[in-house]
Structures are given as structure tokens and as C-alpha cells.
Amino acid sequence: MSQRNSSGLSPLWKVLTRVAVKVDQSVGWDKLPTPVAVPVLATLRRLYRWTNLYDTATLPTTGVPAVPKPEGQRYLTARTADGTYNDLNDPRMGSAGTRFGRNVPLRYAYPEPAPAIMEPNPRVISRELLTRDRFEPATTLNVLAAAWLQFMIRDWFSHGKGDMSRPWEVPVAPDDPWPQKPMLVPRTIADATRPPDDTSGPPTYLNTETHWWDGSQLYGNNAEMQRMVRSGVDGKLRLDEHGMPPRPLLEMAGQEPGFWVGLALFQVLFMREHNAVCDRLRAAYPSWSDDDIFDKARLVVAALLAKIHTVEWTPAIVSHPTTVFALRANWWGLLQENLTGLVGRTGKDLLTGIPSSPTDHHAAPYVLTEEFTSVYRMHPLIPDDYSFRAVADNHELEERNFREIAGPHTLGLLDRLSLQDLLYSFGTEHPGAVSLHNFPKFLQEFERPDGKMQDLAAIDILRIRELGVPRYNEFRRLLHLKAPSTFEEMTDNPTWAAEMKRVYGDVERVDLTVGMFAEPKPKGFGFSDTAFRIFILMASRRLKSDRFFTVDYTPRVYTPEGIAWIDATDMSAILRRHVPELAPVLARVENAFAPWPAVGAGAKV
């Protein structure tokens, strides 16, 4: 069911691949010196590109109208609202409302039938393996890194709000304090483009967002949403006289599940950044229309999101020397930033990075995958408790728990505290480590804006099973990794091994999330090496498949001013530009997602 082509790997590459897999399994790429580890990872990425991309669009489809061709030529050099026409030969590819793909063969993507899908009970796993006993910090990161991940996910994917007409019923033990017995969990909304009762392949699901890295969390994924956020003047987004989104937009956002102050901070920053780009373009091109400026500013901001995630956020959370170099090479190539800036983009991604290189979808048409959505379930990053402090002298302004800074409460916090103090507080506090026994307690008792209670830890477990993502050991085998034969091999924590054995009994039944949270991490890693394998494949694919990051990443499409803006900007520059009060702190920061130094004698350490 994939688009695999036997010519994808030449005989020489097959030999090199066998060597790389053997070295990886016997030694571990992370134990190798960087000059050796980089080609091993590059070889594994090529292997994954040809053996771990599967096209669900080949399964039967019904009721999907043809994509209308836009009027005029605008779509040739601008992103469309719904993500269509990124690939000019396949205009529907990656657009909002298209299917998620897979990183595993489709025969492995079937969910288990009842009652096996409920075994072990997701609520039991939540209580006994995921509950935060005490907060375990990720000391190499700050809370902005946790908020950034959710900000990106809002751009990349959503399965929708769920179907409560036929909910999953999770049994709840008599001594469990959960108020509802059984626990009711909405099912993932069925794929409306699959013929009724089709059983020719595993269930498929639609992404309500565009699959592209296009800033849809800022700009919307359809024309109506885009009209809501645009001012209609000079290409700008709607901000009030204080540089904040209009109150009705914030109130609407506050009613959406998952909205909190961390998400709001990045929304504000990048709406301001968009408008700053518009000012630069208006000065350079005074005759341009509102649409002309908007289109170019959106291209620039979307590229900034991709660049910051690639060369700043990901190296911060996987700060192994090899991965830092390799991830930066995705954007700048082996020549890295200074030399690529000197010689210019050559179109050779190995040499000067993916931007400006040829587009390539590899083994399947581009979409995000169910496995990608599953490994990004990193809720332990969220702390339960927050200390908000003043950037002027570090004195404490407020203490709040997560429930008090989320949903409708977000607006009150934005009213009471300044943007600089909120960002400073997030920059100087640690997120949680992505591990067992570190799931936020307020997300295990999460009250949605509509008053409904959810245990997101139990839902994370049930959801990956529902989506047909293989359990941990099978998942590893399908990624050419060794699978542990005992619970003791799965983790270096004997207590966790005993707990998993008690809950699961059979090592083959361990869920992907639990296995990833339990396994030992490579040096500098904030999450598991198993998850990293999906990133090896999908991180570069999100760039390599997008013509606006490849063949159309040019001064002609972006403007010379736009390319220069992207090259000169990192996360710290954006923070300084729009919140200048942070400049003294940021002057001592190399990566905006690493912990910031606290101010003054009363600084917390």
C-alpha cells in the first residue's frame, strides 16, 4: 500500500544500510563520535524514507470533490488558506481534511478488537505508571520549550474534537475517585471519505489542519478563518492598540480545550512578528496590495517557525552533540550557518541545507502520520505549578497552578501581568521530564471549558491504541531497532520495571507511550530514542516535501528582504524585537529554550 520503489535504495546503499543498522543496534549511534554518528544517522534516515512511509490515500475513497483551481496566479507564489496547491501536480496533497499517513506497513495499523484494546486498562496505567509522584524537572530546558511544542502541534495536526455519540467506555475500579463510572472517552471522528463498511484496510482518519508547516495556528486553515484574523490593511493581522489580539478572538480561544497562557504568549509574539515583517515589506514595496504583503509576510513567518523549531527547539530538547550538528545541517547543510551564508544556497541539501534544494516526497505523497502524532504526546513537559516573577528584580508576583492559567482563566492572567514578566517567568522555570510518573496531575483531572472532566493520561493510552499504532516492541522492530525481551531490559529503573511487569504481565503488551517514557535516554535527550527515529524521518520530510521550503525558497518568491529577515532572525531576536525589556536577560542566553539566568540577588536557582 506504500509508494515504495525498489530503486529507492541502490545496491551500495543497501550494503551501507545493513552496516548502519548493525552498528546502531550493537553499539548505538549516540555512543559513536560525531564524525561517525552523523553518516550513520543520515543512512538510517534514507532507510526510513524508503521503508517507513505508507500512503493511506490508496485505500478506497468516496465523496471527495475535485480541488477547484484558484483564480489568477496567486497560488503559484503564495500559500493557500487550506494548504491546497503546495504540490502543483497533486493539489490536494497535505491540505486540510486529508488523511494521515503511516510510518508502519498498513497490515500493522489495525486497532486491536475489544476487549484487547482495553487491556491493560488505560485508567489503571494512568494511575499506576504515569501519575506524577513528585515533579521531575527537565533541567536543560525552560517552560517556553513546553509551550512551543503545543504551539507547533496547533499548526501541524488535529483529529478534531471527537465523537461522543458512541464513546469508549473505560472501566473504573470501585476505589477509583473518578466521578464517572465508566469513564467515557469520545472516539476519534471517523474518516468521512472512506466508503461505509469498507474493510480493505485499517481505519483512517483526517487531519483537520493542513499537514504543511504553514503557520495555520496563526492564519487559520480556511478562507473564513483567515478573514477573521486579517486587518485588511497593509497585509497585517488584527492587533489592538496594546499589540494584543482583539478581545473577542482571545475569548473564543479561551473556550477551546487545551488553550492556556503558554499558547497565548506565542500567538501574540508571532502575530506581532507578522506585522513587523509587513512594515518592512511596505517600506520596500509601497505599491503592493494588502494581499501581496500578507502573502509574503506569511511565507516569512512560516519559514521562521520551521527554522526556529529545526535549529533551536529540537537541538535544545535533544542536545546530544551529534543531533545538534545534524539538525542544524537540515537547515544550513554540512557547511553550517556561516559558510552557507557566505557561499549562498547551492540547491544541494547535503552541502547547504534543504531550503532551495529540489522537492522530494520519497516513498509516498506527503502527509503527517499517525505515528508522528503519537510520539508527540509529551504532556509530562507541562508543570503543575508556576511562579510568576518580575523581570525587573525577580520578585514573585503570583503563584498559580495549571488550572488557574488555562482556558477562560488565561485572559485574566494576561490582564494582570505584563508580557515581559510572563515570558521571563517561563524562561527561567523548568518544564517536566518526559518520563514515567511525571504526568501533570491537573491534566489527569483536566476540566474542559464545557465543564467535562478528562484524564488525558488515560486518553493518550487509549488514543494510540484506537489509531492502530503498534505497541512498543512491535513499533521498535518496524523501525529496525532491537526490542527488549524483558521488562528489565526496557528500562534502567528497577522500580519501573517491576511496576510495568505488574501492570502489563507480558512485555509485548507495553504501550508505545509507556515504553518511550521508561527507556533510557541518550545523553542530552529530553525524550526517547524510539521517538527520535520518527523525527529522523519526519523532521526533514516536512521541509523536503514543501515547495516553499525547497524549489520556491528563493528571493523571487520570498523577496530579498524576506530571505534576509529569516536569515537574521532567531527566537531571541523575536523576543527582543517585541518585548525589549527582556534584552538584558537574553544577552546571556545562547538558546531561548534553554533556562534563562534569573535577575538580581533574590534569583531562584
Active site (annotated) includes residue 110: no
Q: What share of the chain is helix, strand, coil (3-state, %, to 5)?
A: 50, 5, 45
Compute the distance between CA of residue 541 and CA of residue 277 in angstroms, rounded to an integer. 27
Q: Which amino acid is at 591?
A: N
Q: Nearest to residue 496, comparing CAs of 444, 441, 436, 438?
A: 436
336: left (phi over 0), alpha (psi -120 to 50) or beta: left
Q: Is 290 exposed, middle or buried (0-12, 13-18, 19+ CB in 10 A)?
A: middle
Contact 233, 537 (CB under 8 A): no
Peptide bond into 115 cis (omega under 30): yes
- Of 309, 327, 337, 308, nearest to 574 (Cα)? 308
Question: Which one from 48, 54, 219, 376 is the annotated catalytic residue?
Answer: 376
Please, where are the H alpha helices in 286-320?
A: 290-308, 314-317
Sign of the CA dihedral running 5, 6, 7, 11: positive
Nearest to 62 by CA among 188, 163, 198, 160: 198
- Residues in contact with 518: Cβ distance below 8 Å, sequence separation at least 6, in sequence order: 435, 436, 490, 491, 493, 496, 500
Q: Report d(CA 365, CA 529) in Å as an integer.
A: 26
Separation between Cα atoms, residue 508 and residue 409, nearest integer Å: 43
Task: Write phi, then psi, for 296 (nearest 5 degrees).
Answer: -70, -40
Closest CA to 131 of 508, 527, 499: 499
Distance CA 313, CA 319 (A): 10
User: How far, in Å, are 452, 515, 517 from residue 130 at the CA level?
Assistant: 21, 11, 9
Q: Are 41 and 536 in contact (CB under 8 A)?
A: yes
Q: Which SS3 state, helix, strand or coil, does residue 260 take?
A: strand
60, 198 contact by CB (below 8 A) = yes
User: Which residues are the active-site residues?
Assistant: 376
